[in-house]
Amino acid sequence: MPSVLVVLSSHSVLGNTGKPTGWYLPEFAHPYNEFVKAGFTVTVASPKGGATPLDPASVEAFKEDPASVEFLNTKKSVYNETIKLETIAADQATAAATATKYDALFYPGGHGPMYDLAFDKQSHYLAAAFNKAGKVVSAVCHGPAAIVNVRENPDDESSAFILKGKTVNSFTDDEERAVQLEKVVPFLLETRLKEIGATFVKAGDWQEKVVVDGNIITGQNPASASGVGAAIVKAVGN
């Protein structure tokens, strides 16, 4: 049975605004449905383990979206009973062992990952291990923040970035400006992806865009979430 390891953010406050943030509802709900439809087992982890912060703004924005509402109401155990990253990726060896057990690694977005997963060593061990094993490494919207700083050897600052030379996308700098958070976030994701040597491609604001480059799968925004899920399923099937 194919399997995917999903890593959610544990970060719940949007910079210095005091406003709540976390992971973004449709960016997990929509891919989750693609995974389940394809017979995947889904395992969920987070830096702190246990309950994870769901961005309330995403609940409000997608209250008319049946898939998001159903996931919100019926899958609470999926996002509130998560494994602590440290238990599956304490070091490179543990992360490598974990990577053998799954076909894909997936990071949903929301602004949360910009604050914790972008700098989380255990998450970096995990992404590097999946990448080294040739497994699917995937993310949507702000999810690529979790892999933008990942090096082939996370313990070696001179090691190459895993996304260097890869064609990718993410929530764009224009979209960040459109939601007026470009001064709030710790960095601009599109800009950072370009800085580390990735080739960035994008659609217009809020348009669907899914990019597949080898084992790396990225999507631009909430509209791209189902497409990313489908691309992960297809890549694992191949």
Would you list the domain boundaries of the chain?
3-237
pLDDT at 165 over 90: yes
Quick check: 160 and 129 in contact, CB under 8 A?
Answer: no
The C-alpha atoms of residue 233 and residue 38 are separated, in whole angstroms, by: 7
Rg (CA), the chain: 16
**What's the mean pLDDT in 10-14?**
98
pLDDT at 238 over 90: no
Q: How is residue 194 written in tokens? A: 């370009």
Instruction: Please write the tens of the pLDDT for every residue from 85-138.
Output: 999 999 999 999 999 999 999 999 999 999 999 999 999 999 999 999 999 999
Instruction: Please write the tens of the pLDDT for every residue from 36-68.
Output: 999 999 999 999 999 999 999 999 999 999 999
Average confidence score pLDDT of the chain: 98
* Identity of the amino acid at 180: Q
Go through the chain and tell me how many residues it has.
238
Q: Which of 200, 230, 224, 193 is nearest to 210 (CA)?
A: 224
**DSSP letters of 8-74?**
-----B-TTS--B--B-HHHHHHHHHHHHHTT-EEEEEESS-BS--B-HHHHHHTTT-HHHHHHHHH
What confidence score (pLDDT) does residue 8 get?
A: 99
Q: Which of 127, 117, 116 is nearest to 151 (CA)?
A: 127
Strands (E), 24-174: 41-46, 83-84, 104-107, 136-140, 167-168
% of the chain exceeding 90 in pLDDT: 100
* CATH dotted code for 3-237: 3.40.50.880
Q: Which of 132, 56, 46, 138 is nearest to 89 (CA)?
A: 46
Q: How is residue 214 written in tokens? A: 């080898």
Beta pairing class for 210-213 and 216-219 = antiparallel
Q: Which residue has the tokens 């899920």?
A: 229
How many Cα neighbours within 13 Å face the side chain of 130? 32
22: DSSP letter: -
Quick check: 206 and 229 in contact, CB under 8 A?
Answer: no
The C-alpha atoms of residue 84 and residue 76 are separated, in whole angstroms, by: 17
The reported pTM is 0.98
